[in-house]
Structure 1
Amino acid sequence: MTTAPDAGAAPSTRVRAVVGVLVAFELFSGFVQGTDAPLLPAVKDEWGVSAAGAQWFITVHLLAAAVSVPVLGRLGDLCGHRRLLRIGLGCVTAGTLLVFLAPTYTVALVGRALMGAIGSLLALEIGLVRGRLDASGARRAIGLLVAALTLGSLLGHALSGALLGIFGGVRVVFAALAALGLVCTALAWWCVPESGPRGAGRMDWAGAVLLGLALVVLLGAMSRADAWGAASPRLAGALLLAAVLGWAWLRVQLARPDALVDVRAMARRALAPHYAAGFVLGAVLLAGQSVAVMFLAAEPAEGGYGFGLAVWQIGLWSLIPSVLGLVASALAPAIGARIGYRRMLVSAFALMAIGHAGLILAHADLALFVVAYSVAGFGIGLSQGGLPTVIAEGSAHDRTASATAAFSTLKTLGGGMAGAGASVILGALVVGVSDTPSLTAYLTLWGLGVAACTVAAALQTRGGRETPAAVADRPGRGTKSASGK
């Protein structure tokens, strides 16, 4: 195992400056990911595919990210985080170029698969800064990276329509993204230092293949759950196959000393509650937002609920919780240093639970609805800024990127499974004999959100203490844990 950097050592000025370059990478990453959903109508028109076919533009990207993130994270720990950061950015750039040049929709989907590597950037960057900075410096850097990712996603979502208007088509938008990717790749090549000592061991390719197959089968089945139906034999068979593959992968991980994912470390009391909370965060962040948008757009005359907002109005109202989430992500290191990361994460998920309860109570009043949504958004921002930090600090230094990548994968799984579950509930609880979801469906989903966030908040009280270096790095706290104990 590699040794940790001295917590009292002053990081070099160059390394501090490099954090700014990494922040630029996360702005790019967030921007690319933020444009996905708004560009779907243009994708449908450009390649002449159906609405269901256009959805694969996102699904393929999601599947590729779920498979590539743990692999690239572990390779970063073994071969160098900078090297894999360059490879990841190169794959994203090649993918955007392929979408721009794609003669057919199938080729465009291949490009989208290459772009899945973008999900690994944050894990590799966290591994890099943890290997180069002391504990407090790494915390501030992680907070900035998460805030930049959030800001980039917000800008991508808000500006995607304007980009289509300016560039005149979805292909040219991807050409512009490819140009940004080339700039980022060049910066990674010339301006980013390597992260320091590398981990020992070999790459677990058998574990990578088994995990990739299990994730593809599971997320693929979840994406088709609404079309197949909850009682479909195909869905049941796919879920059973995913479970068998997952069990085989777990056996391989427990038997190998150089496993792709350190399952035993993830199961420790110090980390397991945070990984479980990552799954809940993914469900609320990736699936919950789409449910809220659907409710804001729903016409009261059709289902007796909703606000009938236009797309631009939804974007305007959604800006408030998004900005609050961005602010919370940026403030997370300071808040964690003040009250302890454990207390901060308990508060974050408590705010998310309160926000979801507020959505239930305020579903008939737009202003109160947005207030409740904003409370949840602030909690989401705190959890996004805090969870990667506590997981990185609780992991071995030669496992930082792979541990953070496992968290990202769980977050993706949470979003995918919650999205599929939400589709089933919205399709089952309808108004009369129509296909319009009933108010009960939305209230049920928000009630489940309250329950999940409450459980996640309770779990955070069971999380482990900080590393000694991190505790020592907090002025005026002595030996008191940042968890609040």
Structure 2
Amino acid sequence: MPRGNDRRNLTRLPPQGLIVAVLALAGLSSSFMFTLVVPIQTRLPELLNASREDTAWVVTATLLSAAVTTPIAGRLGDMYGKRRIVLVLIAVMVAGSVIAALSPGIVGIIVGRALQGAVVGVVPLGISILRDVLHEKRIDSAIALISATLGVGGALGLPLSAVVADRSDWHVLFWISGGLGVVVFVLVLTIVPVSVLRTEGRFDFVGAAGLAAGLLAVLLAVSRGSEWGWASPLTLGLGVAGVVILLAWGWFELRIPEPLLDLRVAARRPVLLTNLASIAMGFALFSSQVSYPQMLELPASTGVGFGLPLLTASLVIMPSGIIMMLLSPLSGRLAHAVGPRILLVAGSVSLIVAYGFSLLWATEVWHLVIANILIGFGIGFGYAAMPMLIMRSVPPSETGASNGLNALSRSLGTSTAGAIIGVVLASMSVTTADGTQVPTAGAFQASFALGIGAAVIALVLALLIPARPVPMGGRPSLPDLPRR
């Protein structure tokens, strides 16, 4: 049972705007981890004296760590205090940054990057903290701002990383991330209040291990399948094993009194549809982050690229992040006025328009600027709406775990997009005179079409979400299933 669930128990709170600002900075630092090594990704085999397949783990390790850690951290936050777990995640990120900064070889870099990925869990935990400590009238706008950091950190962090990697030793990137983590740790410790809402009980270690094993197997198959071969025994074995483990995990979770995730709550129509829409929305977002940078950076001689350096290309992508940030106050007011469901619908429509525009016009740099602005609107509205829908449909004792599951859903979408769009661009390619494989114009058109498809799925799911979810704080009524 929850204890201390009255916000009035919180005394001597810092200004609420300051709390929101600190949690937003924490969110920015977490999303920055995904673009940290993008400027040096193609140079990693040379820098680390390793094969390209091995250096791919520098990115994959962060992805896997984030996906596994986020839902587990959410449950730990519900049980032991959300701020406490936020501090632990930030400390793990700082440790990972230091390890990577001091490591000359690939093993230390991969270990450090895996530890850095854990910090992604601070975003859903931060959103849950807002519900506990903010005045109800401020919650929607604050959630919209924190949600926007998922896109803003990457869009703004990419040019910063490019400048640092171009003008100094690449290890400086990890010292910067570590320093940022220390600053955020101190601010969270001194500004963010301790949440008084806790859920009693024992932590489900078996459930955590099962979820981690299942997710790792599935995500490894998805993220590395293009290199290993989609029909290879390793890819198929991991994929099938992961699905089987997750099915067994779900069966187990429904039959224990204190599960890691209450699947009865997760199975409610508003929550289930929102999480499915999150997968589609994550796919639509990452489709642009894979295809647009490649198109901007490919040599103009290929006939499909613009030949821009990484820094210039990142500046073309950056408007999407700026739009997300500027939209957050408006998103909160709109959600309060018309409901987050309409916001998710508007975001999906904007993504459809963005990719439709790219299908028709993608021959000038300014065309991609317009497309990225539209994507900023789509992701800004969509990412703001999803945690609001979750928070309105789950009891207060489940906010951390439920937001963690929603963040995991977005990660599944982005991981799938990275694999599928990567396969499309690689398979629909031609060999240039110097022997380089480059995607064709048709490959980019197919990528945009897949983005439209994902956005359409998100739109349909958004329209199916009930207009009036369970009021905040109410426990949903679900049919009882047998427990052991």
Assess, with a 3 A threshold, how the Cα gap between structure 1 residues 462 and 15 changes in structure 2: closer, same or farther: farther
Query: For the residues of structure 2 that align with 1:348 and 1:287, how far apart are their CA atoms?
Result: 15
Q: What are the Cα deviations for residues 83-117 of structure 1, in whole angstroms up to 9, with x where unaligned?
A: 11111111111111111122532122112121121
Query: For the residues of structure 2 that align with 1:177 and 1:443, how far apart are their CA atoms?
Result: 36
Query: For the residues of structure 1 that align with 2:451 and 2:216, how far apart are their CA atoms?
Result: 25
Alignment TM-score, normalising by the size of structure 2: 0.89
Q: What are the Cα deviations for residues 308-361 of structure 1, in whole angstroms up to 9, with x where unaligned?
A: 333233123222333223323443112212332111110110111111111111
Paired residues of 2:3 and 2:198 also in contact (CA < 8 A): no
Assess, with a 3 A threshold, how the Cα gap between structure 1 residues 177 and 308 changes in structure 2: closer, same or farther: closer
Assess, with a 3 A threshold, how the Cα gap between structure 1 residues 429 and 30 changes in structure 2: closer, same or farther: closer
Alignment TM-score, normalising by the size of structure 1: 0.89
Query: For the residues of structure 2 that align with 1:59 and 1:222, how far apart are their CA atoms?
Result: 11
- Map 1:59-458 to 2 at 5 A: 59-165=60-166, 168-299=168-299, 301-302=301-302, 304-431=303-430, 435-458=437-460
Output the amino acid matched with 1:169. D
Paired residues of 1:39 and 1:170 also in contact (CA < 8 A): yes
Query: For the residues of structure 1 that align with 2:65 and 2:108, how far apart are their CA atoms?
Result: 15
Query: For the residues of structure 1 that align with 2:381 and 2:201, how far apart are their CA atoms?
Result: 35
The alpha carbon displacement at 1:368 in A equals 3.1
Assess, with a 3 A threshold, how the Cα gap between structure 1 residues 313 and 390 changes in structure 2: closer, same or farther: same
Query: For the residues of structure 1 that align with 2:228 and 2:101, how far apart are their CA atoms?
Result: 32
Paired residues of 1:226 and 1:420 also in contact (CA < 8 A): yes
Paired residues of 1:198 and 1:398 also in contact (CA < 8 A): yes
Paired residues of 2:10 and 2:133 also in contact (CA < 8 A): no
Stretch of structure 1 that moved more, 147-156 or 67-76: 147-156
Paired residues of 1:352 and 1:450 also in contact (CA < 8 A): yes
Output the amino acid matched with 1:418. A
Output the amino acid matched with 2:26. F
Q: Secondary structure at the match of 1:461?
A: helix
The alpha carbon displacement at 1:400 in A equals 0.6
Q: What are the Cα deviations for residues 10-69 of structure 1, in whole angstroms up to 9, with x where unaligned?
A: 996526133332223223323333323224246444422333332211110111111111
Query: For the residues of structure 1 that align with 2:337 and 2:41, how far apart are their CA atoms?
Result: 43
Q: Secondary structure at the match of 1:271?
A: helix
Q: Which runs of 5+ in 2 are unaligned?
A: 475-484
The alpha carbon displacement at 1:408 in A equals 1.0
Query: For the residues of structure 1 that align with 2:255 and 2:171, how far apart are their CA atoms?
Result: 47
Q: Which residue of 2 aligns with 1:34?
A: 35
Q: Secondary structure at the match of 2:116?
A: helix
The alpha carbon displacement at 1:76 in A equals 0.5
Q: Which runs of 5+ in 1 are unaligned?
A: 472-485
Q: Secondary structure at the match of 1:436?
A: strand
Output the amino acid matched with 2:274. H
Query: For the residues of structure 2 that align with 1:468 and 1:404, how far apart are their CA atoms?
Result: 17
Assess, with a 3 A threshold, how the Cα gap between structure 1 residues 408 and 394 changes in structure 2: closer, same or farther: same
Stretch of structure 1 that moved more, 26-35 or 285-294: 26-35
